[in-house]
Every structure is written in structure tokens, then in C-alpha cells.
Structure 1
């Protein structure tokens, strides 16, 4: 398992915002969102807005599944969030980790960009998927960021939450197109931003229309508290 960052303190966004949890962040991603707030997990060429070429030898650390589970359980939390990068690129490695954590009564959420069909073993284990399909402003071609089979399979799961990163009112029209096309009913709009000023500015621009459309909204609590500071 290729892991990039240590656990954090709470879930910063989405349906479980504010809940105390532990994080495991996996390295590698099949997308290259230009505004990504964790480019150190995948950007080895400097293609994101940071322009920094991160070194995978420094950022990623291989650890046995048992070691990861032991570290996470030591935090004594009821929720573990598996993030990335794109965690579903490592599904086979995730299954034994999820099984071990659930055996100890831990709830599991997996953050995913919605381009991978989830393994049935993860679904049967009761994992909740926080799905963040990427819009055109992320910069990747539509055929890479919108994968119909994956989105339909995730949308069929009643526990899935779909979280769309938005900047402008026009982005909400794009969200509606994706939601209508794939039967997505649990829609959450999250403002893009890596500073509190950016997050709050986009939120204020979007929130009234989000409410009018009957959708949910979430801020980025970790950004409001820590900005771009990385965990240690």
C-alpha cells in the first residue's frame, strides 16, 4: 500500500463534516486536476497550478496493511477516511484493510473521483463512498473525468454522497447535467479554494442558488482552520 500522509483530526467536508476521524492518504491518481489541494500525492511533473515537481520517493511510503490498520486503530476513533490521490486505484489492497477496520467496529468512508467501479467486496463491507466527479474547470478531458459505468454503479448505492467542487454559478449547470445523466440524487456543492478567503468567497457566490436547486452544501472546514498547511 502506497501511503502519503498521516492521519488527521476530523472530516473536513461532505456529509460527515466535523466528525472526529483518522485519515489514511494514498498516493497516485489517474486525473490531474489543476487546482488539486494534494498534488504531492501524484504530481511528479509539475502539471498542477503549483508548478512543483514532487518526488514520489519522498512523498510515498510503502507499508504493510497490518501496520496501517494498527496505526489507525491506535487513534481510537469511530471513523476512518481513506483518501488520495485516487484510493480506488488500489482496491485490492484496500479490501483487507477495510475488513480489519470493520472487524474492530470502525466506519469507513472512501473519497473517490468517480472514475473507478468500486469492488463488490468494499460495497458488501458497508463502505460509504464520497464521490467527487470533476467538472471542466479541473482541466482533464471529459472522457477521463466522467466514466459512465463508474458513476452509475456509485449512484446506485444509497450511502453514496456526490460532492462537486464549484467556483462559479455556471458550474452548477454542469453539475445538473451530470446528476441528471447518471441518476445522482445526493448532491453536495463544495466551494473550491485553498485559503479561507477563496473558500468563503466561492461559497457566498454559490450558496443561494444551491439552496434554490434543492441541493446540499458543504464548506472545507480543514481549509478554514489550517489553510494549505500539511499534516505532520
Structure 2
């Protein structure tokens, strides 16, 4: 489930249609802003998600934790049906105790300098420390090249982050494959994890339904 709105403005964002109504990102993705967001009730959202018949629902954005109070009833309803929920977040919003108590999991992706966003907006110490206290949290960093790994290392040391994943920046299978090759040795040397982008390898930059 992808929610609209974001508190950051990453210039390479691959989902600018969730927040960039002015066309300020540099991805070249075409969209019509008025057709992107649709207001739905908690009951409608829950029904649609349960209809997938899966054991895990990922809630992404934009920045989904900006709407965590509104989406909490959906998470609670899914939990009652034993469906796990994972949030993909940029790590700038502290998760509520109620959301944690509902069993939500978190995939935290702090943004680096190449995002074009000022550090005081993209790095929120209180939020990162809170995520670091939660069990099962993964910290994923999008890296353009090996030089970005030094910046990641600074953040890992500063906030004592564990379960670190590195994902190459790219929107085509060729870019992802090259990024994996460029980053692999340095990631392995740091004993971090390396991740590709399976949906890009399968479908390229094509949007889903």
C-alpha cells in the first residue's frame, strides 16, 4: 500500500507522483498529480488488503509514518487477521507506541547527501535512536557508488545501527546490476548486507496497478 505525501524532496526519488506536484525531482517520470491520490475509509483499505490473501503487507510512500495515526486502525485490523505489516520509512518520524504495540515492523532508509536534502531534515537523531531500539528493524541505504559507503559508516557508528543493508541506486536492471558489482566487495568487507531491486530486474521502471 503506497500512501501520498512526503516530508523530504529527494531529487532522484523514483515515486515523485506521491508528493512532487511541482515536478521538481529529476527522474523524468511522467504522471498527472490529480489522478494519483484517492481518499478511502479504513474499512475500504482493510478489505482491499485482505483480499490479496497474503501474509505480509508493506506500507510505503512518500513517508507513511506521517500518517501513522490515520493508518493505525488498518494495522490493528490486519494484525487481528494475523497479517504482518512492514513500513518502509525514511527514518525521520518517530513511530508511535501504539503502532509498535500493534506489531508493525520497520524498514528504515535514511537518505544520504546525494538526495539533495539538507542534513537537519533527513537525519533525525531521536527517530533513528528509537528505531534502533526496536527488534527486527532493517536499515537500508541507497548508494550511488562506493564513496557513499563512508557516509553510511558514519551514521552506523553515530547511531549504533545494526542489520545494515546497502542497495544500489538505479531504475533499470542494467544500473542495478552494475551497482551491485561496484558495491559488493566494499559492502562485504564491512560485513553488511547487499540488496538488489527485484521489481526493477523483473519489470524495469514500469509502474504497477
TM-score, normalization by structure 1: 0.88
The 2-side partners of 1:120 and 1:177 are apart by: 28
Q: Which residue of 2 aligns with 1:181?
A: 158
The 1-side partners of 2:172 and 2:30 are apart by: 22
Task: Give the alignment's Cα RMSD to 1 decimal.
Answer: 1.1
Secondary structure of 2:128's aligned partner:
helix
Q: Which residue of 1 aligns with 2:136?
A: 159
Residue of 42, 46, 64 corresponding to 1:87: 64
Secondary structure of 1:126's aligned partner:
coil
The 2-side partners of 1:56 and 1:174 are apart by: 34
Q: Does 1:43 align with 2:20?
A: yes
The 2-side partners of 1:151 and 1:197 are apart by: 32
Per-residue CA distance 1:27-55 (angstroms, 9 max, x = gap)? 00011111111111111111111356854
Per-residue CA distance 1:86-138 (angstroms, 9 max, x = gap)? 00000111110000001001011000000000011111112110000000001
The 1-side partners of 2:199 and 2:30 are apart by: 24
Q: Is the 8 A contact 2:14 2:27 kept in 1?
A: no
Secondary structure of 1:32's aligned partner:
coil
The 1-side partners of 2:138 and 2:71 are apart by: 20
| Structural mapping, 1:86-105, within 5 Å | 86-105=63-82
Q: Which residue of 2 aligns with 1:67?
A: 44
Gaps of 5+ in 1: 1-23
Q: Which residue of 1 aligns with 2:123?
A: 146
Residue of 148, 153, 171 corresponding to 1:194: 171
Aligned residues: 209
Offset, 1:219: 0.4
TM-score, normalization by structure 2: 0.97
Give 4+ residue runs of structure 1 displaced > 2 Å after superposition: 50-57
Gaps of 5+ in 2: none
Q: Which residue of 1 aligns with 2:104?
A: 127
Secondary structure of 1:31's aligned partner:
coil
Q: Which residue of 1 aligns with 2:10?
A: 33
Secondary structure of 2:200's aligned partner:
helix
Residue of 196, 205, 209 corresponding to 1:228: 205
The 2-side partners of 1:172 and 1:97 are apart by: 36
Structure ranking higher on relative contact order (CA contacts 8 Å, 6+ apart): 1
